[in-house]
Structure 1
Amino acid sequence: MKPGHWRPGARWAREEISAPVKMREGHGALVTAHRVGNRDLLAAVCPQARALGLAPGMPLAKARILVSGLDVRPADPAGDAALLQRRGLFAARRWTPRAALSGADGLWLDLSGVAHLFGGEQAMCERILAFVRRLGFSARIAVAGTTGAAHALARFGGVPLSLCPGGEEAAAIAHFPLAALRLDEAALATARRLGLDRVGELIAMPRAPLQRRFGAEFLLRLDEALGRAPEPFAPIVPEEPSSVLLRFMEPIAGAEAIAEALGEAVRRLVPKLAEAGLGARRLALACQLVDNSVQWQIVSLSRATRDGDHLRQLLYAKIEKIDPGFGIERLRLVAARVEPLAARPVASVLSGEPPAPALAALVDRRAVRLGARRLYRLTALESDLPERSVARAGPLAETVDWPRWPRPIRLLSPPEPVEQVMAALPDGPPRRFRWRGRVHQVAAADGPERVYGEWWRREGERAAVRDYFQVVDESGARFWLFRSGDGEDSATGDLSWHLQGVFA
């Protein structure tokens, strides 16, 4: 192909060929891609990918040419929207009752009347930024007198926090491109053909020619950003949990009266849950006494349910923990945590499936008596370090089996140090050690089994090494010990010994 004769749509190729192109290494750079028409475009890029020259909207083929080893994953717009909705609900409950969605990647928060509760606008915004960082996200916040100006400052300001005094919105956004006004692509293309690039140029022009050329929608966006026209604000309204409130003409104090009140509360709550198609996972019972104090009782369930008999039995077990004093005036039962609960088939002989045991009800009854934290299962995690390879799971949660490696039944977390260890370096097993004041003479040993530190978790584990040994002492007891370090390089460990576990 002769120079200057490029096929349509290959403008980016002409720009890249005009100078020598060097492929950049992008190991660890993460991007998401989605299909727009017949092209795959980048939807989002991580900071490392952005530093390598990638940006949202770039063709995926071009990104792979520019950066090798790129980690490409499919975009999930529905998941992103659901996450943003949850963040908006949290903001409406925690910071301001007026919170709304701003596009697909932002939130509008109305700080009128609430900023002083957090020490002012700047202190409140810094607190929100710190909270977002703890969640693992990066964000930019802009405070202005109009939603349009705040939108432009947050997305085109380039700084984490922008505070625009009231009445200065025009000067603050004057140097921004016209895309900051939330205009559609057709209007932006027309403006570029006429030589309009900045918001300030648009503000200085007469309005009548602009309206004839672009229409009323074009000027409406400008007026909304400058405060000349109102902009609708549709706040996110958190749904109130299903609840039942009982008021008594005379205070109740007896166990039978409380049980009758709890039964009536459940009878009123179950139809509300059924109407919403929900099942309760946690019930909160608030008893307001004559002296205006409130006693709370919490009932957690292993699975969502709206079985009235089961809920009543769980609440009856809490009666003995209620101290009515001189009497209970009001009783409130709240479904504090709910989940969708639809009809599901029941396994039976007619369906050809053996009925599964109803363990959920049994687990709930035991949890009410013993405490929810005392009922759990153990599941394996993907980690080489034994103390990180085990986690607690719910009584009915799915678990993962451990690899078929010889491991002790009892693991110590954290590992306990042992003293007076006699062992030959660099990889000799221990011959004697002292643990919990008792000296153990080793009769047999097997090892070492080398385990490396998880450098992606902590920088200090980049060179860490552990050598594990299975030993049997003269009395027949079996132990699992490890030495910190490989016995040759001091950077791998301090050669200290620890007991990780005890075999049966």
Structure 2
Amino acid sequence: MRRVVCVFLPTWPTDLWRRRHGGPPPDEPLVAAAQEGPRRVLSAVDRAARGLGLRPGLALVQAQAMVPGLTVIEADPEGDAAALTRLAAWCLAYAPLVAPDPPDGIWIDVAGAAHLHGGEAALLASLRRRLGRAGYRVRAALADTPGAAWAAARCLAPETVLPEGRQRDHLLDLPLWSLRLDRDTVSGLAQLGLTRVAHLLDQPRGPLRLRFGEEPTRRLDQALGHAPEPLAYLVPPVAHAVRLAFPEPIGAPETLARVTGRLAAMLADTLARHGLGARRLDLVFRRVDGLDQSVSVGTARPSRDPRHLARLLAERLSTVDPGHGLDEARLAAPSVERLEARQLAAPGGEPDPDAMAELVDRLVLRLGPGRVYRKAPVESEWPERAVRRVAPLSPAGGVTWPADLPRPGRLLPVPEPVAVLAALPDAPPTVFTWRGTRRRVARADGPERIFGEWWLTDDEVSACRDYYRVEDETGARYWLFRDSLTKDGARWWLHGLGEA
């Protein structure tokens, strides 16, 4: 299934000029002007100028009369287009299939690559956040087709993800210009009372083609996914890439797996000659109808083992739609690191670190990048602050947990309140109720007193916890604590389960 992101930069020329020259502040209007016949007209306006009623196409003298002291720059469409292409090349960090959409857009086909960024919504949020920090006003949408993504980016929320197969439902109420129709066609359709996409769906196609040509129905079919729309993707200058062309189109899953294995072996040889290992792989298949299909995978550490790389790519081949056949395949390693040759471990010796890296790669591919990690100690008195998540293969630091302080096998993210009965106010609990279940304590050990970290916040100057390890009559173990005494007495909490 194709999944395309449309990045819309509504004020690209003025944002670009501000980024290069430091221009007026964002709340002051800025416009670009160009010569159009005998007069000069506005070619681009920023958000502040649009709020004052200025629009592209307006005569410059009229704009200056409406907004005295207006800042005007010379339009540079060639420079803007070149900068857009460079920005599109930067977007290759998100997926291998990227195409500029002049004058103010970029296409990114993220099918097979969104999982590397935490999913489609996380990818879209990251893209908008990073471009926004660079000073660009951005709207972005993700859909099954370029046409649907283009319309959603301009007519729906600034950050929109259309569910797979549901673009029709979201396009029905949009204006006809969202189908990328020219102004004359939209005006002519409006004279017939056709102003929404839904109106066009109900019309017979023959009369529409006779009066307006093929464009309205073609754009409608492309937006709904009924007609193909190839994009002119950038070909990145990747130093480490291999390619296979096929005399006859291929499409069977087992054939794709064999081709992937051959490409992985060819790329591994190239990497070995340069002493490198891949950290990211982009596999692109070209269909006979011109629609590219891509798969991207990442590795936890540099690797050039062809079997491992082929296995990772094979996990994602199910996302490739061969259509009527594939006639070319390219495998590239856009991200590489040094990987020197090393002595293989002897049988029964130390664990092979590459085997662990391969396991991590497979788990990340199946579960997602944010779900595979390890816990590392942090120097903190407070138990919930004494642990943090780190990358699964990150090197061990110099901090360790104290061996003489027993901790539970599972620490709850947030302590949960419990009702406790104790023989004395400062004695261990004899009975406690947690999540509606009453548990009688058979054994208890404690207290272990932990004071708040007063150097972090004033609220912890007087904070104090008394922790108890308790075991109920069934043998289950819990980690309870009593917080600081107040006028209403102390409160009890359950913080951990099991025994480390």
Structure with higher RCO (Cα < 8 A, 6+ apart): 2
TM-score w.r.t. length of structure 2: 0.45
Larger Rg: 1
TM-score w.r.t. length of structure 1: 0.45
